[in-house]
Structure 1
Amino acid sequence: MIDKYPNPNLRWEKTSTYNVDLEFAMFRNKLRGSFGYYYRYTKDAFLEKKVSMVNGVENYTVNAGNIRNQGFEFTFNFTPINTMLNQAAVSGRKRGFVWRLDPNFGSVFNQLIDKVKPRNKPLQDEIKYTDYLTGKVYLAGRPVNTFYSYKFKGLNPENGSPMFYNTDRYVMEGDQEVDMGEVYNNMDKEEVFRTVMTRSGCREPFLQGGISNYFGWRNLGLSINLAYSIGAKIRMFKMYPTPGNIAGPEKNLRREFTKRWQRPGDEVYTNVPGILTGAAWEDANTPWWKDRPFKFSENIWEMYDNSDLRVVSGNYLKLSSASFRYVIPDEFCKKLYLKSAYVSISGTNLFTVCSRKLKGQDPSQSGTTNLINISVRPTYSLQLNVTF
């Protein structure tokens, strides 16, 4: 069995990198920080090329693309308030109040470049429709991890099945009926895919970072760490991991099914498909394009799970951790023959502010899984630390 196919013409990737960093301090060091910018250009980037299976492998690594990456990072440390005394009182108790703020921002831009192919044209030779759905297609002029989705049209008023734009077999143009099967036969597969799909966005965020806060008063300290992400798009979890089959009583079922289509007229109020049976179920699983060279999906259930209806914003603000600490005074520690001691309570993944459309799904979780996952759960801990 061949694991990797040799390519004697494969060249090293060539990367040029430029970095600029600026550090600053202001207001008697109350405000300190740094700003960094980088630019990276990669020539002859490694990309996977589809080859015939007679070679023993399906993919072949070649030099087929140029990638431009650039980004910036901005961090600073700010102490708005600090009345904390430099020395502890005679009793060993700290006095005063301090507030420290440490935010950081980071952004990365990447773009695939091809001097021959126009914008939005794939750089690979052989493309499957799933490459568009998963963001594995490399498009000239577009960021890496750009993904596409089917264009949801609504629910069929007769049986509640999902409908999508540009997927009808026959359409009317004026007074003439046009067979879209013949139209798509005269198009490249990639053109067909982009006709029935729309660009949903990028899985990578445009801006991300964190904000750390520390509040100290006497022997008490509170640390709060926030994380944020802006600009990413994600899919909701799948509703139909098996084509149109509803899970049995021994398996979990998504709550959205309680709002499914059940009778004509429900399509006005819901976007959740109805339960199909008989001929309607067969038609949904064997669409007219399934055996065509330009096949763009297996069935309408796959299209529903990967439709623009189930793409939501991945923006979030998360309280990733928080800790409250009490430092036991020195005078009390001495009575117990201790050098120092403190007690603290802390938690992680305490809450997340994100799109309501996620319905409990964590924005850091992908919608490609067939399982029904719960969101990232919070954890709590209580700690007593003593030093002898």
Structure 2
Amino acid sequence: AVTEMIDRNTDWFDLLFRNAVTQNHTLSLSGGNESTTYYSSVGASISQGTAREEVSKRYTATLKVNSWISPKVYIGFQLNGSITDNQGYHSSFNPDSYARETARTIPAYNADGSLFFYRPYESFSTSNMANQTYAFNALHESQTTGNYADLASLTGLMNFVWKIYDGLRYEMTGSYVYNATKTTTWAQEDSYYVNQLRGYVFDELEFGSSFWNESVIPQGGVLSKSEATKTTLDIRNTLSYSKDFKGHLVSALATSEIRSVITDGFSGTHYGWMPERGQVISPSYTDAYIVDLKNGAFTPVITDNRANTVSWIFSGIYSYKDKYTLNANVRMDGSNQFGENPKYRFLPIWSVAGKYALTNEAFMKPYEDWLSYLALRLSYGIQGNVDKGTSPDLVMQIGSIDSNTGMATSTVAYWPNEDLRWEKTTQYNVGLDFSFLLDRITATVDFYKKVGTDMIVNKTISAVNGYTIRKINGGNVNNSGVELAVKFTPLQTKDMRLVIGFVHSYNKNELIKANDETNNTRENMLSGSALIEGEALGTIYSYPFAGLDHETGLPVFYDKKGNTSATWLSKTYKNYTLYEDEIELVKSGVVSPPHTGGINLEYRWKEWILRGSFTYSLGAVNRLPFIYGDYDSVFDPEKNVTREILNRWREPGDELHTNIPALYDDNTYTNLGIRPMRANVDHIYGTSMYDYSTARVCSTNNLRLRSLSLSYIFNKKVLKKMHLSNFQISAQANNLFIIADKRWHGFDPEQGSSANSSIPRTYSLSVTIGF
């Protein structure tokens, strides 16, 4: 048996995945005359995902009619519809993580071709019913569980324009959008997922037995269904005026908008689903099921929400001979989501901006041979935001009838705070636009600063109020940065053209003020969700790793005094473990990269076009994939481990060239002579700290080839012979490679240690034909 395991090499990726194939088909018809045009199209997209059970089908239809009824009156209609059917996996089974983590020594099939089932470590039951284990096979699970999602969308648009008088124009736009979603998640009674819920293996216990009565789902499967519709109505009226008075361009507009979003939904979970008996749902009313029923586990959830919004928009522009331009904008929004208090009723947004085109000045004429354009831009604006998770009023959520008391229940959704104010963001911006050598080189650079004040944060209050966390305006956040965009055309002839584009963005944020009573727990600091004044949002902290012990190869950590050992009750202990009050986490960096950008290349030669797109990010860190996922025992034999384990500590002296700890079992720390237990103080083990230590923090700097494409466009001479208006063939590849720190060992650094799936490499071939 051991020899068979050594020789076995199950390719789980081959069994669970495939090369994705996507087909896109579009047929369009257009025509008309000088005053009226029409366009219609139908399309179909059928995609087989990389995972074998993932299938998506989408069908679309579009109809447009545009007509100038008279020289001053225009009307347009558009109707869009789509139907999408998606098939995928149950949330309990992730094929990507399973294929990556499961040992290749586990077979998928027996020698006779039947499915091979094994008993995962997690399957051992802790219930009082029996010492049960549940057999698992990935192929069987993917066939007995799943998820379906059906989406239907209908959009109707109407646009009316009336040119009233010289420069004065009225426009009305109306839209109707209807979206319907149906989702079905299912698991059959012989699935591993239902076996775990049941508490014993399918079809092994007798009806009416004590074990039967202790199970929440002794027979049948699980069916969860949800249906939701969202209807959006929008009407916008705009009155605008624009006229040039001998070089003085004046433009103004006033807009009113009414918008209503109506959401209706229904969802519920049903036990005892029997698809083989005509989709019958017949739950067994066991003691365990009745307990869950009384606790509301199977109570349907009905969603009924209406959000109404009224908006007013005012804008004015003045420009003199394209030299000087001034712009002012004001917007106010009122909504039934903002509460009854007048200070919540309207959301104010306003901004002012100016632009000075220096190259339109006479004194710049001597430089026009090499300086094509130069303009300076300035802007200032204030935005307001209402946090939807807060309310100035007490908001109660109406519940169901309690089955024990017969009384109606309600819970508090939002506690009141009448002193809440808008979250405000003030933005300053300075920009420069310029181009050289007849626009061979063009560039835009912007410097900005955003000051966020009165941000909503949590405040801890006394429990005598009935709750312990209150939302208040207590946070200030600063954002500043630079955005640069450059386009360079070094080569341009009749048959050849090369364009290089470069964009770069730098952003720095800092929490200026947080609620002083915010409890920044160790868990929040490790995850990067702590709010610490003077630091950037998303800063992660780590346990300070001191190295591997020379004798044991286990990780040792610095305490807050910088020591690697401590004396307790006259005995010295190495810092294999630490008391909670000995720990001082150290800052490791930010998860969100402050520097991001991209490089775009386009080379055209006659009818051929080659395009490439690179993206990069710099300045961020993240945690490497965890090594010690279960620190209570040695590695799970059914799971893969990272190749880093090959470089682990094996003998004294290895700690000089590796930071990967030695293997261990559940008795290792007991035999080490660790610190004694202390009352009311957490005792943190090194295997728990290691994956969150400085040893497992790595730079996420990367350069990615996002896309590469090659297209051929048939010229007009060929098209004329073929009686076509357009004919293009394109081949494209996405996510071809990424260059990053080698410590990631193939993992995507942008997704970090918690990634459940990888970004797939895709190839596509498209053909576009126009008649």
Cα 1:81/1:262, change in 2 over 3 Å:
same
Output the CA distance in 2 between the equivalents of 1:358 and 1:250.
23
2:722 to 333, 336, 340: 336
1:303 to 681, 689, 701: 689
Indicate conservation of the 8 Å contact 2:518/2:531, yes or no. no
Cα 1:284/1:6, change in 2 over 3 Å:
farther
Cα 1:356/1:170, change in 2 over 3 Å:
closer
- SS state of the match for residue 533, structure 2? coil
Cα 1:243/1:291, change in 2 over 3 Å:
farther
Cα 1:268/1:83, change in 2 over 3 Å:
same
Output the CA distance in 1 between the equivalents of 2:500 and 2:439.
13
Q: Deviations over 1:265-298 (max 9, x none)?
A: 43333221122235324478986578654x4x74
Partner of 1:379: 762
Q: Deviations over 1:221-278 (max 9, x none)?
A: 1111111111111111111222243443433322222222233343333221122235
Partner of 1:93: none
- SS state of the match for residue 303, structure 1? helix
Cα 1:264/1:169, change in 2 over 3 Å:
closer
1:356 to 738, 742, 749: 742
TM-score normalised over the length of structure 2: 0.42
Unpaired segments of 5 or more residues in structure 2? 1-410
1:76 to 486, 511, 523: 486
Output the CA distance in 1 between the equivalents of 2:677 and 2:448.
47
* AA aligned opposite 1:148: Y
Partner of 2:119: none
Partner of 1:112: 511
Cα 1:311/1:290, change in 2 over 3 Å:
farther
Matches within 5 A, 1:278-297: 278-282=666-670, 292-293=680-681, 295=682
Deviates more, 1:161-170 or 1:39-48: 161-170
How far 1:321 moved relative to its partner? 0.7
Partner of 2:438: 28
Output the CA distance in 2 between the equivalents of 1:290 and 1:8.
45
Deviates more, 1:331-340 or 1:345-354: 331-340
Q: Are positions 1:103 and 2:486 aligned together?
A: no
Indicate conservation of the 8 Å contact 2:574/2:674, yes or no. no
Partner of 1:210: 598
Cα 1:220/1:283, change in 2 over 3 Å:
farther
Output the CA distance in 1 between the equivalents of 2:671 and 2:470.
37
* AA aligned opposite 1:9: D
Partner of 2:704: 318
Cα 1:56/1:255, change in 2 over 3 Å:
farther
Matches within 5 A, 1:204-243: 204-243=592-631
How far 1:53 moved relative to its partner? 6.7
Partner of 2:751: 365
2:586 to 198, 214, 233: 198
Indicate conservation of the 8 Å contact 1:361/1:374, yes or no. no
Matches within 5 A, 1:160-199: 160-166=553-559, 171=566, 193=583, 195=584, 197-199=585-587
Indicate conservation of the 8 Å contact 1:82/1:98, yes or no. yes
Cα 1:212/1:65, change in 2 over 3 Å:
same
Indicate conservation of the 8 Å contact 2:520/2:531, yes or no. no
Partner of 1:91: none
How far 1:156 moved relative to its partner? 2.3
Output the CA distance in 1 between the equivalents of 2:429 and 2:656.
55
Output the CA distance in 2 between the equivalents of 1:231 and 1:140.
20
How far 1:166 moved relative to its partner? 1.3
How far 1:341 moved relative to its partner? 1.2
Output the CA distance in 2 between the equivalents of 1:283 and 1:62.
50
Matches within 5 A, 1:151-166: 151-166=544-559
* AA aligned opposite 1:164: F
Partner of 2:449: 39
Q: Deviations over 1:22-61 (max 9, x none)?
A: 2222211112222212212122221223456776666432
- SS state of the match for residue 256, structure 1? helix
Output the CA distance in 1 between the equivalents of 2:673 and 2:505.
45
1:133 to 526, 550, 555: 526
How far 1:147 moved relative to its partner? 1.3
Cα 1:126/1:321, change in 2 over 3 Å:
same
- SS state of the match for residue 421, structure 2? coil
* AA aligned opposite 1:204: S
Partner of 1:63: 473
Q: Which has the larger radius of gyration?
A: 2
Output the CA distance in 2 between the equivalents of 1:21 and 1:31.
17
Unpaired segments of 5 or more residues in structure 1? 85-95
Output the CA distance in 1 between the equivalents of 2:574 and 2:744.
35
Q: Deviations over 1:99-156 (max 9, x none)?
A: 1112111111111114xx9xxxx84432211111111112221111111111111122
How far 1:71 moved relative to its partner? 1.4
Indicate conservation of the 8 Å contact 1:159/1:276, yes or no. no
Deviates more, 1:5-14 or 1:299-308: 5-14
Cα 1:359/1:20, change in 2 over 3 Å:
same
Output the CA distance in 1 between the equivalents of 2:673 and 2:611.
54
How far 1:376 moved relative to its partner? 2.5
Indicate conservation of the 8 Å contact 2:489/2:500, yes or no. yes
Output the CA distance in 1 between the equivalents of 2:641 and 2:565.
35
- SS state of the match for residue 275, structure 1? coil
- SS state of the match for residue 130, structure 1? helix
Output the CA distance in 1 between the equivalents of 2:546 and 2:444.
49
Output the CA distance in 2 between the equivalents of 1:234 and 1:243.
21
Indicate conservation of the 8 Å contact 1:46/1:65, yes or no. yes
Output the CA distance in 2 between the equivalents of 1:137 and 1:290.
27
* AA aligned opposite 1:128: T
Indicate conservation of the 8 Å contact 2:506/2:595, yes or no. yes
Report 1 or 2 for greater relative contact order, CA contacts < 8 Å, sequence distance ≥ 6. 1
Partner of 2:172: none
TM-score normalised over the length of structure 1: 0.81
Output the CA distance in 2 between the equivalents of 1:235 and 1:161.
19
- SS state of the match for residue 133, structure 1? helix
Partner of 2:417: 7
Cα 1:291/1:54, change in 2 over 3 Å:
farther
Output the CA distance in 2 between the equivalents of 1:149 and 1:364.
19
Cα 1:339/1:111, change in 2 over 3 Å:
same
Indicate conservation of the 8 Å contact 1:347/1:381, yes or no. yes
Output the CA distance in 2 between the equivalents of 1:101 and 1:39.
29
